[in-house]
Amino acid sequence: MFLRTSTKVQLLFIVWTVIASLVLFFLLLVNRFPVDIAWKDSLFSGLIISIISQILYFIQTYSHAKRPVNFYNFGLVLVLTAIYQLLINSAFKLVLGNERWTEYIRPFEGARAFIVFFILISVSLYWWINKNQQIQSQVHQQLIEQERALTKAELDNIHQQLQPHFLFNSLNSIGALTEINPKEANRMILLLSDFLRGTLRKDIQTLVPIAEEIEQVKRYLEIEKIRFGHRLKTEFDIDEGCMQTLVPPLLLQPVIENAIKFGLYGSTEEVVIYVGVKHQENGLLIEVRNPFDSDFTQYKAGKGFGLTSIKRRLMLLFNQYDLLTTEKQDKLFITKILIPK
């Protein structure tokens, strides 16, 4: 009886057949049909309606109709209703004979055709809604996959751009140290190797414990301390309860690099870079402070590739635009990063 359909759809057709048969059976009894004619009529009608509904299901599923009831569907339902009437009349003329068919079946033809037409229009509407929900779900899933792919591509691009300028500066420093202090040059090479190993193995979309990020930042600062000597000092204030909190990898290094650039480049004095990490009610707060001289540089919040890239990364990962903020207090420049819960 069934065309090739899923188990769920087959079960729906079975339920549909039973309900249609029972409703028709009681309608016939109310109209004083004999019981033997009523149950034969209702059962046979239910089976035909079920088969026609399946045909309508397949046509609706594989057609490209954009509206549930248009001229195409309306005409299709009219044709299927006419086919139903032809089948039911032919069957009962054969089973009951012309006399009983004329007495019981023929007077009920108009009402029966209207009921079947209404059922098939409802079926058509149901399958159209079902089909379009599936299409919308597929389109939505495709858009999600495309967005994920674009996000990953953009994050990877940001990742690739974070490294070269730091690497070039380090290599230049190594070149300068090779002649005047080979021991420090060798130490810097080892530190740079450890730092790059930790950087290159990171998946930029996979979150890591803040403890790993702090260790990576310390490796970076050791390299920079060789470059700047006693002028660069660091202060860490890390809440021990935060150490396993997950954050995006390679998040702090561009901030620290920014702090060094604007803290040391315009000064000959000792400079302290402060890094603080603590829990807040709405997430993990990371704070970096560095001195800056407003007369030496026009330091604008959000300017420069480092801070801009971090802001963009945070937006792509957490879909929030205000996770990185900057402020000035006296001669301190403060960068705050919030990792939401």
Q: Are β-strands 332-340 and 283-291 bridged in parallel, bridged antiparallel, or unpaired?
A: antiparallel
pLDDT beneath 50: ranges in the chain: 1-4, 68-69, 298-304
In this structure, are residues 277 and 218 in contact, taking their beta carbons and an 8 Å threshold? no
Q: Express each pLDDT in 254-299 by its tens digit.
A: 888 888 888 777 667 788 999 999 998 889 999 999 888 765 554 4
Question: So what's the pLDDT on residue 23?
Answer: 76
Q: Express each pLDDT in 120-129 by its tens digit.
A: 777 777 777 7
Question: So what's the pLDDT on residue 277?
Answer: 94
Question: So what's the pLDDT on residue 285?
Answer: 94
Please, where are the H alpha helices in 163-209?
164-180, 182-200
Question: So what's the pLDDT on residue 3?
Answer: 45
137 to 5, 59, 131, 147: CA distances (angstroms): 20, 20, 10, 15
